[in-house]
Amino acid sequence: MSEELLQTIPSTLIRYQYYVLGTTTLAQLKKEKIINVKVPPEVAKNKPDGLIVVPNGVTKAYIEYKQPSELTEKKQRDAAILQELGAAKALCKLLIISDGDKSYWINTLTGEEITEKNSKRLKVFNAKRILDGKLTEEEVVELEDLLDRIDHSLTTINNAIFEPSLLDPSPLARAIWQKIWINTGKEPEKCLYNVVELFVFKFLSDIGVLKAHNNFNSVYTLTKSASDQDALKHYAQICRKDIQDFFPVGKDGTTIINGTIFVNEKGEPNLSQARLFSEILKGFQDYAEQHGSFKYIQREFKTRLYESFLRQQAGVRFLGQYLTPRNVVLAMVAMSPANSLTTGARICDPFCGVGGFILETIVGNPQIYKEFEPHNGLVEPNISLVGFDKGTDEKDDERTIILAKANMLIYFSDLLVKYNTPKHLKAFSDGAFNKVFNLIRTNLGTFGHWDEEPFDLILTNPPYVTSGSNSLKRAIDEEGLSKHYTAKGRGTEALAIEWVIRHLKQGGSALLIVPDGLLIQKNVLAFIKRECIIRAVISLPIRTFYATPKKTYILSLLRKHHPEEMQSEPVLTYLVSEIGETRDAKRFKLAQNHLDEATALYNQFKGSPKYFSPSSPRCKIVPFSEFEDHEHWLVERWWTKDERVALGIEEKVPVMTLDEFKIKVKDISEKINIIQQKIEALG
């Protein structure tokens, strides 16, 4: 071993190691197994100044240092590159020439400089900060991510770093869900929990969180080399526990996984389902072999994962109760002021279900998404987002919030690909999954939760049922919370809108979905008008929601600074006929989506309500003096019948003149007489 290697301790870069060299030849590095490739004789005596390698000997970067004076002119740079290109090419795709202030990242396959896809030059490679241990954890992650992207992108004809192809495993998800459902006969939502858990297992394996002994490949191999039962035991007793260790439970006692088909409530393997478990793993394996890694997932799949299960009738019945169609969620997020909120702002969905409103608010607004990037190993967003869901001590009542946390992990997959150290994973659990989504283990759920600071923005689709609301009101009385619910409305929707409004900051915004029954309750409408500026009432079509034909509306409100404040702004009303998908169990995509136009018009209206003039016959701007005179807010009734027919909201009913009616009656009478005569003749 060379004297230099005896004295060299490599710096650790998560999965990689950085060696500072200078007097050690490639032949010596090969002999000591620092590198594992065959070294051509013509470069065996070359001495790199530095190497970045994987501990198994795979080289990621060959590094050469120069003095600043040696890289001043282009011909000097070209000479430095040419001098080291052959040796670097023998080891890897990447050669870095650097003087500490300037760096040239070279594709060894072409000899050309590497750029980002927008032709932007890459950052300076600063070896001194690595050696001094001054790189932050996030900078180390970024360097490793850059090395991975370079290795993935470079070819003999391509010098630009491109984004990897994205996977859409929706067909696989539906097939697995259906296989579990058919084979077990379990409730569709329980099948869903297990599908999501196994997707998380495969994803965490593919991004390297789960290592060789406890990842997907190790379990799948056991189905071939041992038995289905051994594979399920290994998953339940080792892999699954490792996932739970990486993502510890929050204060509400929930984490990101809790399937109970392949394991029981205690986490023990359910060996009667070992064969099915093995078949599911083979489905994942076959799909990966055909389509590639689950490391990079299309956003469409992330946002519509749970909706994909609603293509089954059973899914509509059981899962539809807590899913708001994605196009409706996207429209409401786009109408909200989320993109203008700043540090310290607070956002809430008090009836969050699987978390759609919260998650779309995060990923749909880059300044909020950026808040969830780790800094110094911590995830501490300066904008607060919280979602609540009701539960009890029963395990089944935990699963919706567990799905929300698992959903967040899938939405954050791009961040987890990049920041996947154990410390970062715990940071995501503490600062994101467990902090954002909270299970309230009481019969009242959110209705009994009154210790929160007010919010700048609330987005929600609250429960709306009349049955059982009286028992809720009795429980509210028993808990001494009646002072918070004074509107004297009917149904849980009336309780929900009081909770929402009373938890808004002065000047805060709320967009919520309400049923038609709420908009005819005079007491509730009076309460809303007293406390809020009414911005918009948007009529949604029948069967917008999966599990109910209920007629619903999007209601946009702005909390007044004082109840005495009088509204002078008009109210935007809009009639939606199509939401971009069929309103049946299949939910196939449609080109027509009136929510897009409603969103665009609403955002224009917000800029200048008093002077806005709509360009669509679906939109009417109603002066508040006129709006206030209406006894109900069922706004589609404010269009004339002819207008509704013209918009396709109501079918045209044929109208006859009196003479036409007499002729029609005579014609029918004659036909009846003929039929009667034939019957008598047969008799």
Q: What is the pLDDT confidence band of residue 397, given thresholds at 50, 70 and 90?
A: low
648 Rama class: left (phi>0) / alpha (psi -120 to 50) / beta: left
Which span out of 220-234, 318-332, 460-474 was modeled with the highest average pLDDT?
A: 220-234
Q: What pLDDT is recorded for position 87? A: 94
DSSP state of 123: P
Q: What is the pLDDT confidence band of residue 466, given thresholds at 50, 70 and 90?
A: low
Find the range with the poorest average confidence among 35-44, 65-74, 147-156: 147-156
Q: What pLDDT is recorded for position 5? A: 76
Q: Is pLDDT above 80 for 653? A: no
Q: What pLDDT is recorded for position 465? A: 67
Contacts of 634 (CB under 8 A, 6+ apart): 516, 519, 520, 539
Contacts of 479 (CB under 8 A, 6+ apart): 444, 448
pLDDT digits (tens, 9 = 90+) for 254-280: 888 877 789 988 889 999 999 999 999
Q: What is the pLDDT confidence band of residue 667, given thresholds at 50, 70 and 90?
A: confident
Q: What pLDDT is recorded for position 283? A: 93
Q: What is the pLDDT confidence band of residue 55, given thresholds at 50, 70 and 90?
A: confident
Q: What is the pLDDT confidence band of residue 313, given thresholds at 50, 70 and 90?
A: low
Q: Is pLDDT above 70 for 219? A: yes
Q: What pLDDT is recorded for position 468? A: 62
Tell me what the pLDDT averaged over the chain comes to: 88
Indicate if the alpha-carbon torsion angle 607, 611, 617, 621 is positive or negative.
positive
Q: What is the pLDDT confidence band of residue 651, given thresholds at 50, 70 and 90?
A: low
Q: What pLDDT is recorded for position 260? A: 77
Q: What is the pLDDT confidence band of residue 314, given thresholds at 50, 70 and 90?
A: low
Mean pLDDT for 391-397 is 62
- Cα angle 445, 449, 454 (rounded to 5 degrees) comes to 135
User: Residue 392 CB: number of other CB atoms within 10 A?
Assistant: 14
Mean pLDDT for 579-600 is 86
Find the range with the poorest average confidence among 444-448, 461-465, 528-532: 461-465
Q: What is the pLDDT confidence band of residue 473, given thresholds at 50, 70 and 90?
A: confident
Count of helix runs (H) and strand runs (E) in the chain: 27, 20
Q: What is the pLDDT confidence band of residue 325, given thresholds at 50, 70 and 90?
A: confident
Q: How far is CA 570 from CA 49, 534, 538, in A?
A: 71, 8, 14
Q: Is pLDDT above 80 for 481? A: yes
What's the rounded Cα separation, in Å, for the pair 253 and 222? 32
Find the range with the poorest average confidence among 461-475, 549-563, 654-668: 654-668
Pair 200, 216: CB distance under 8 Å: no
Percent of the chain with pLDDT over 70: 94
Q: What pLDDT is recorded for position 308? A: 67
Mean pLDDT for 101-117 is 92
For tokens 């008093």, the residue is 610
Token pair listed for 612: 């806005």
Pair 314, 188: CB distance under 8 Å: yes
Q: Is pLDDT above 60 for 413? A: yes
Mean pLDDT for 511-516 is 95
What's the rounded Cα separation, in Å, for the pair 439 and 420? 26
What's the rounded Cα separation, in Å, for the pair 520 and 609? 25
Q: Is pLDDT above 70 for 41? A: yes
Let me know how long the chain is. 683
